[in-house]
Amino acid sequence: MAKRPAPKKHKPAPRAKAPAKRKADKRKPAKKRRLTKKRFLVYLVLAGLLAATVFTLYLDVTVRMRFEGKRFALPARVYARPLELYPGLRLSPEEMKRELALLHYRPASNPRQPGAYDWNGGALDLVTRPFVFADGAQGAQSLRVEFRGGQVAGVSDRAQGKTLSIARLDPPLIGGIYPGKNEDRVLVQLKDAPQHLIDALIATEDHRFYTHHGLDPRGIARAVVVAVRGGRVQGGSTLTQQLAKNFFLTPERTLQRKFTEMVMALLLELHYSKNEILETYLNEVYLGQDGNRAIHGFGLAASFYFDKPLKELSVSQASLLVGMLKGPTYYSPRRNPKRALKRRNFVLQEMAEQGKLSKRQLAMAKATPLGVVRRPPSGTSPYPAFLQLVYRQLKRDYRDQDLRSEGLRIITTLDPAVQRAAEQALSNRLARLEKARRIKGGTLQGAAVVTSTQNAEVQAVVGGRDPRFEGFNRVLDARRPIGSLIKPVVYLTALQQPQRYTLATLLDDSPLVLKQKGTADYAPQNYDKEFHGKVPLVDALAHSYNVATVRLGLAVGLPKVMANLKRLGAERDLPGFASSLLGAGELSPLEVTQVYQTIAGGGFRTPFRAIRTVLTAQGEPLKRYALKVEQESDAASLFLLTTAMQEVVRRGTARSLANQLPPSLDIAGKTGTTDGLRDSWFAGFTGDRLAVVWVGRDDNQPTGLTGASGAMVVWGQAMAALDPAPLTLTPPDNLEWVWVQASSGLRSGRGCPGAVKLPFIKGSAPTQSAGCGGGSVGDAVEEMGTTVKRWFERIFD
């Protein structure tokens, strides 16, 4: 058997040397780590560039949107009525001086600049300021106004030497409706800024402004060094950077904000011209504080510190404002005049070193006093109660955001002279009443409204004893029982039924007890605690008899009385109880005023208005608040009611008003007193004005005052200061005058005992005679003479 060959032994493949293998293992991981770091650094750089690009694009969009859109939130400016001067206007030189002070006009010999005036004996020379009214722009006028006997005797144009029938002053600014942060500014264009203001700004804040591109490298380097050393981030800011900081950023001092500020400055310089940047800077910078109002921009600062338009500032005045940029509070010329003077002189010196002032100009400017006015034009309205009424009326037509940001110009109906008279009367009389009646000082409160009887314009609103208080406005928000002020509505409702009721109709003023299931008996009492039997309707109103009034109101129908009250102007529904006929229902003084406005208007309801027109910031008319007149009662019944209200003042509850005003004014009015002597009211009107006054206590405690002893004396003092026009009533065609006997209401004759002459709607006068010459020949002759007189009046009217 053959032997198998032995298998071949395979030599194992040679192994790599161990050391070489270890070296290879070490090299591969090392190579991988170096690649990761490189990639990480690349990614990091790319991510940083992307983030910087996105951030820059975001800032670019932010800058352009803000800069090219509405840059500033401009407050609405609220003005009083413009004073119109014409021959015959009742206006004394003293009143004219107060108007000039309110307008911040300045005395000057031979006035030539707008806003300047000079008194020359009994004449006033002045140059009005230009203003854009609803009917167009009115330029400055050089006027001479002559006064004689408490009136304007003549108005003439000094430049052209011709007589004028009428001239109009610019309206006084009385307040504003400010943005959320209470920023206030007056926008100015760069062309309106004096060159020395620009020179002072560039020389002090950024003398390379016109050559750099938004950043100052040396300043930035200085700021970085300070920051690295642990100091506060500061310095190095160009005007463009300052604008970016003020316009877009918060005031914090961090490197991140500084970097953002620098990027924004570059973007501003990339997109906008130097003049655009400078003009925005002039309007943006913060220059002081007026209470809670922030003063922004040089335009408003010129008015706030110097009471001048920006273009009229001198070199020294402009330099003071520029110097204040470093710290408006620290360098305030009113609080720290020495510090402000030193800072102003530093600015002047910088201007001289930049070649903007000669040595002589520098010396003269440094020698000039600061020239800051003692009392700045305040942004806080001196008439907050009236401004609240304006604001509420505006909110019916405009969004709150528009009122606070669009720079609207609102021309109102406020008459500062009327407002002043009402404020002084309320303040003075309440103090005297407290002293006379030994009431703790400051306890009594009050409210007053004055309107025009001709057009229902609200001329004055006093919301409380302190007219500058911006809190609770009693004219708008104090709802109090109106007491006897409702009685004219009750009597009007009766007189609208002439076949049943006339001024001579006898009313029952005997004891009355009303019984109703589920309620206590109602037994009204008269103020004098007496009953007067049968009394003529005109006497019941004149003496404000409660029992007779309740009986009359129930007879004509309580629902009719309440409906009449709403037609006359009351907007809220009052409770339909018998006590409502004596004024248990509550209304605000403003609501009462609307009711009496319709009465004073002869039955024509004219909603009162506090605004005449609204203009855009450029002076374009947006809305005119025209008169709206609706007839709510016939003229004849209103004539009868007004005649009876005149008797209230002649011989009724308001007869003591003769101690303050002449009887020849023929005032029509009504006193009002509520239970417990808690509320004192008086509403009355003359030929040109209606006023409603309330006096009481906020805690609703008794005052001890009736309508005549409280509110009426305030009303009387206010009207006495305003030289009111007499109330002259024009009887309608369907009216006749007849002599009647007061005690019986029957027809009588002139000269008969107890005879009074009263107006009647034709066909309603009594026909039965009282037996003393009723319907006599003398009466017929008198009536014929009256008729002829009316004919002549119509012919020559």
DSSP assignment string, 473-498 = -HHHH--EE-GGGGHHHHHHHHHT-T
Q: What whole-number distance in Å separates Cα of residue 99 and Cα of residue 32?
A: 89
Total residues found in the chain within this entry: 797
In angstroms, the Cα distances linking 37 to 30, 50, 541, 690 are: 11, 20, 103, 89
Q: Is 470 a catalytic residue?
A: no
Ranges of the chain with pLDDT below 70 = 1-35, 40, 43, 58-63, 65-71, 180-181, 219-220, 222-224, 226-236, 248-254, 378, 773-797
Please give the DSSP secondary-structure letter assigned to residue 509. E
Q: Report the DSSP pairing between strands 409-412 and 76-79.
A: parallel
Distance of CA 64 to the CA centre of its chain: 36
pLDDT at 741: 94
Q: How many CB atoms lie within 10 A of CB 133?
A: 18
pLDDT at 11: 52
**Helix (H, G, I), strand (E, B), or coil: what is residue 338?**
helix
Please give the DSSP secondary-structure letter assigned to residue 24. H
205, 261, 457, 591: the active-site residue: 205
Residues 6+ apart with CB under 8 A from 197: 298, 310, 313, 318, 321, 322
Q: Is 484 a catalytic residue?
A: yes
Q: What letter represents residue 771's amino acid?
A: G
Residue 665: closest CA among 608, 722, 596? 722
pLDDT at 122: 87
Q: What whole-number distance in Å separates Cα of residue 491 and Cα of residue 556?
A: 9
Residue 776: closest CA among 750, 740, 737, 744? 750
pLDDT at 457: 96
Residues 6+ apart with CB under 8 A from 590: 389, 449, 475, 476
Q: What whole-number distance in Å separates Cα of residue 8 and Cα of residue 462?
A: 128
332, 484, 580, 637: the active-site residue: 484
487-495 vs 589-600: helix axis angle to the nearest 10? 30
Are residues 283 and 185 in contact, defined by beta-carbon separation less than 8 angstroms? Answer: yes
pLDDT at 797: 47
Q: What whole-number distance in Å separates Cα of residue 542 and Cα of residue 509?
A: 14
